[in-house]
Amino acid sequence: MPALVIAEHDNSYLKISTLNTITAATLCSDEIHILIIGYNIEKVILDAKKVNNIKKILLVDSLYFSNNLPENIAAQISVIASNYSHILAPATIYGKNILPRVAALLNVMQISEITKVCNPSTFERPIYSGRIIATVQSTDIIKVITVRATNFISAKKEGNKAIIHIISKINYFSNTASIFISRELIKSKRPELTSAKIVVAGGRGLGSSKNFKILEGLADKLNAAIGASRAAVDAGYISNNLQIGQTGKIVAPQLYIAIGISGAIQHLSGMKDSKIIVAINQDEDAPIFDISDYGLVGDLFEIIPKFIKYLS
């Protein structure tokens, strides 16, 4: 049976997390379908047609899905789920919001944040904040899986011509217990956090939201995304959509610069797969130094301006 990938997109193109999930799906089945749900998503379809290894693009274009309510999307997925052996989505906020609901509707167990596909029924996933890698096997007829996208390479775009199938039967959550109220979008010229090649992340050591702005100069020089530890987010230094860690976003850039971050295990689980890790902290015993490739012990308010000046 084919595998189904639930597409995360921004109404213009597929996100990198989706391309990585497609790669994981190819290890589960020889036939891959992708489901694109939303409203006015013509540009996403054009982007999806370029992706290799996709045989069919399922399209649900309806006003009911304009606000991406996870209840509505899960209800729609559930009506076509029996056609698939695997249903996969990236382990992002988008995927984590939808697939648990799908698993509940199908009465199956979800397999969360897989990092490796051993065979179509056996997977590896981190537990205990990434300190242990568990090998799990599922006997469910339909396997519902979220994928830690940073552990898989992106599917290539080489002009593949997939078949487009429009789903006309709309199924959505009719209970008014969950309604859309408003959305606040934060636009940035910097790279997207989960796909950036360089990430500059700050922690509680920065001391305030005003001090956090010191990272912007460094990020601009490096064309980097800005991230934060949960401690910094909880303290109100920066928006929670930039949180990295077990309860935030998972990143694995080429270069990760941790500034004023002590290195709690919950944060490390979200960035420890970065290729090169640079840590700056005035506490020489900070746990972040245990996993860093390069460490600087000192006052970040003296070190960062020197970095910016050197890069100018």
Q: Which residues are annotated as a binding site for FAD?
A: 204, 229-230, 243-247, 260-267, 281
Query: Of 154, 155, 118, 148, which Cα lies nearest the Cα of 136?
Result: 118
State the CB neighbour count (10 A cutoff) for residue 128. 10
Query: Of 151, 268, 127, which Cα lies nearest the Cα of 201?
Result: 268
Query: Of 215, 268, 196, 254, which Cα lies nearest the Cα of 16?
Result: 196
For residue 114, list its beta bridge partners. Answer: 147
- The amino acid occupying position 8 is E
Query: Of 176, 212, 190, which Cα lies nearest the Cα of 304?
Result: 212
What are the CA-CA distances from residue 119 to residues 132, 225, 274 (Å)? Answer: 20, 35, 26
Query: Of 186, 199, 194, 183, which Cα lies nearest the Cα of 239?
Result: 186
Contacts (Cβ under 8 Å, ≥6 apart) of 245: 229, 230, 264, 266, 267, 268, 269, 270, 271
Query: Of 51, 41, 14, which Cα lies nearest the Cα of 166?
Result: 41
Annotated binding-site residues read 204, 229-230, 243-247, 260-267, 281
Radius of gyration of the chain (CA): 21
Helices and strands (H and E) in the chain: how many: 10, 15
Gap between the Cα atoms of 252 and 163, Å rounded: 33
What are the CA-CA distances from residue 77 to residues 5, 35, 90, 146, 294 (Å)? Answer: 11, 9, 15, 15, 46
